[in-house]
Amino acid sequence: GEMITLLTSMNTLVKEAQKAGHSHLEAEVLASCKARYQTILQAGWQANPPDPPDTTPKRGRRKQSATRNLLHRLDTHQEAVLLFLERFDVPFDNSQAERDIRMLKVQQKVSGGFRTLPGAQAFCRIRGYLSTLRKQGASLLTALELALAGHPISPAF
């Protein structure tokens, strides 16, 4: 709960800094956020110690709790988790990326996959083109009509 609160408050700080016209957070604020992140991680590790070793020998790694797995990922990938604090062009969440691949997964689920590799490539090319134009605010119907007439809109980079 504390980590969720911290991450959402960090996101709010970044949004406020962007609204104020800043391109980055002040060094003291950034250091404070990272220190608080580390403090919460350490408290999480202390509150979730590893299970005592099993007396029966088993092969492979020991299974850990979901909480310890999450702590491990938050600790190991701290730079990636907090990158939105240092680079304002990095989004706080990955919702857009999930929305971009959703149609592909729906297509696979409905039809059971693609019959040919060229068909899958064409589907992905069209979806990527439309997704890019949607993000740039272009009219999708107009873009499709122009593309089919041989005059595709070139997305801006």
* Mean pLDDT, residues 73-77 taken together: 91
> How crowded is the C-beta side of 40, counted as CA atoms within 13 Å?
17
Instruction: Indicate whether 156 pLDDT > 80.
Output: no
Q: What is the structure's pLDDT at 54?
A: 63
Provide long-range contacts, Cβ within 8 A and 24+ apart, for 85-94: 85/10, 85/13, 85/14, 85/25, 85/30, 85/33, 85/34, 86/24, 86/25, 86/30, 88/14, 88/17, 88/18, 88/23, 88/24, 92/7, 92/11, 92/14
* Mean of pLDDT over the chain: 83
Q: What is the structure's pLDDT at 32?
A: 92
> 52: which DSSP letter?
P
pLDDT band of residue 114 (cuts 50, 70, 90) is confident
14, amino acid identity = V
Q: Which residue has the higher pLDDT, 96 or 126?
A: 126
Token output for 17: 């800094």
Q: Considering the chain, what percentage of its residues have pLDDT values greater than 70? A: 88
Q: What is the structure's pLDDT at 40?
A: 94
Distance from chain centroid for Cα 43? 25
